[in-house]
């Protein structure tokens, strides 16, 4: 079934003959546009688009000889700029120059034979008699097939190398919670301010809890008075001095390096995830159900939620509710 849909989508969008960067248009919003916008984000993190998806072998009649990266080390016009200057048909296809086991050139002026030899050497003999068809490959994966996990791992390596908050997946917390925390760190949760920036009309961008500041991700989780009270209670319960933080990533950085016991560290991290999740739930309660809770109530919810997560999902931990309520450490 998947293969059939693949054929349908490929023929509808004419993917067999169009180049990847021609699939989207800046002026037409939609799926292709969203995919193409990933390119600039990846480049910022030093991941070239060609590493994610590269058109290695194409229809010779459709692929631009000089401008497409069909050999994999960059377009030939960048690798052989002098020869490109002398080319009389700048938009020629592979089939214009390579056919019947030989080469055919169209220079405006004859170049040095050494330069042409280097170009022929770069192309290699496998192309002369090959009738290979179009395919896309991913350089990040050992089997050339892109899967999301490969991209995520590469992104994580880049992010942790650039000094950003190193996010860890906890098996004790539900996946939806971990995903939310990961998005909150990058300011990618649908706060009023972020929706407004995306052009979605929201009545107010002011925080529904304190009614003073704009509702950004960091405000909901760190800056809001409701959040500050909640964090204060949580850290008192943990017998840990509340650190100063005004970004979600900072509180997680603190929990990641806190203490020497890996087990206690994991529990603290789980409590932080639970707190972030509950602050978001409390915010949603006000907006969608007009249900405002107190920080004390939020702390009770965090205590019981994290207890259940660790009790059910942790391997070696024996957790007692009465002891847990006194202190988790
Ligand atoms: Zn607020």
pLDDT, tens digit (0-9, with 9 covering 90-100), for 256-283:
888 888 888 889 999 999 999 999 999 9
- Ranges of residues in the chain whose predicted pLDDT is under 50: 58, 161-163
**Environment class of residue 224 by beta-carbon count within 10 Å: exposed (0-12), middle (13-18) or buried (19+)?**
buried
Per residue, what are the HEC states of 68-88? Answer: CCCCCCCCHHHHCHHHHHHEC
Taking the centre of ligand 1 as the mean of its atom positions, its distance from the CA of residue 234, in whole angstroms, is 18
Q: What is the DSSP letter of 107?
A: B
129 C-alpha vs ligand 1 centroid, how far in Å? 68
Q: How far is the CA of 276 from the centre of ligand 1 (A)?
A: 14
pTM of the complete model: 0.56
For the chain, the structural domain boundaries read 2-137, 165-326
Three-class secondary structure of residue 152 per DSSP: helix
pLDDT at 124: 74
CA of 11 to the centre of ligand 1 (A): 50
Helix 262-289 / helix 175-185 crossing angle, nearest 10 deg: 80
What spacing in Å lies between the alpha carbon of 228 and ligand 1's midpoint? 10
Ligand 1 centroid vs 226 CA: distance in angstroms? 7
pLDDT at 122: 83
Cα-to-centroid distance, 189 and ligand 1 (Å): 15
Q: How far is the CA of 210 from the centre of ligand 1 (A)?
A: 4
Give the C-alpha separation, 243 to 168, whole Å: 20
The single-letter DSSP state of residue 298 is H
Q: What span, in angstroms and rounded, lies between the C-alpha atoms of 228 and 145?
A: 46
CA of 250 to the centre of ligand 1 (A): 19
Which residues are placed with Cβ below 5 angstroms of ligand 1, an ion? Answer: 207, 209-210, 224
- Dihedral sign, Cα of residue 168, residue 174, residue 177, residue 183: positive
C-alpha 35 to ligand 1 mean position (Å): 34
What is the distance in A from the centroid of ligand 1 to the CA of 304?
Answer: 24
Q: Is the dihedral of CA 208, 214, 218, 224 positive or negative?
A: negative
Cα 279 to ligand 1 centroid, rounded to whole Å = 11
CA 288 to ligand 1 centroid distance, Å? 16
The string of DSSP letters for 242-310 reads: PPP-SSHHHHHHHHHHS-S-HHHHHHHHHHHHHHHHHHHHHHHHHHHH-----HHHHHHHHHHHHHHHH
């Amino acid at each position: 079934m998947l293969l059939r849909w693949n054929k349908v989508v490929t023929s509808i969008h004419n993917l067999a003959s169009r180049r990847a960067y021609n699939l989207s248009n800046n002026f037409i919003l939609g799926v292709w546009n969203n995919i193409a916008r990933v390119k600039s984000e990846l480049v910022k993190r030093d991941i070239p688009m060609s590493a994610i998806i590269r058109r290695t072998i194409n229809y010779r009649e459709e692929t631009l000889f000089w401008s497409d990266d069909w050999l994999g080390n960059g377009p030939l016009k960048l690798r052989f700029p002098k020869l490109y200057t002398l080319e009389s048909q700048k938009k020629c296809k592979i089939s214009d120059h390579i056919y019947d086991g030989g080469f055919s050139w169209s220079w405006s002026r004859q170049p040095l034979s050494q330069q042409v030899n280097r170009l022929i050497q770069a192309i290699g003999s496998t192309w002369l008699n090959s009738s290979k068809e179009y395919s896309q490959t991913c350089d990040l994966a050992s089997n050339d097939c892109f899967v999301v996990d490969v991209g995520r791992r590469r992104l994580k390596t880049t992010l942790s190398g650039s000094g950003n908050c190193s996010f860890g997946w906890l098996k004790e917390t539900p996946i939806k919670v971990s995903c939310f925390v990961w998005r909150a760190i990058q300011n990618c949760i649908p706060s009023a301010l972020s929706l407004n920036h995306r052009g979605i009309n929201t009545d107010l961008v002011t925080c529904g809890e304190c009614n003073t500041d704009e509702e950004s991700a960091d405000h909901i989780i760190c800056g809001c008075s409701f959040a500050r009270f909640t964090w204060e209670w949580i850290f008192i319960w943990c017998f840990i001095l509340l650190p100063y933080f005004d970004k979600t990533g900072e509180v997680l950085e603190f929990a990641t390096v806190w203490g020497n016991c890996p087990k206690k560290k994991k529990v603290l991290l789980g409590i932080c995830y639970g707190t972030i999740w509950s602050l978001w739930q409390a915010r949603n309660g006000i907006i969608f159900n007009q249900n405002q809770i107190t920080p004390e109530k939020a702390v009770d919810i965090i205590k019981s939620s994290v207890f259940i997560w660790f009790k059910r999902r942790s391997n070696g931990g024996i957790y007692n509710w009465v002891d847990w309520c006194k202190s988790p450490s």
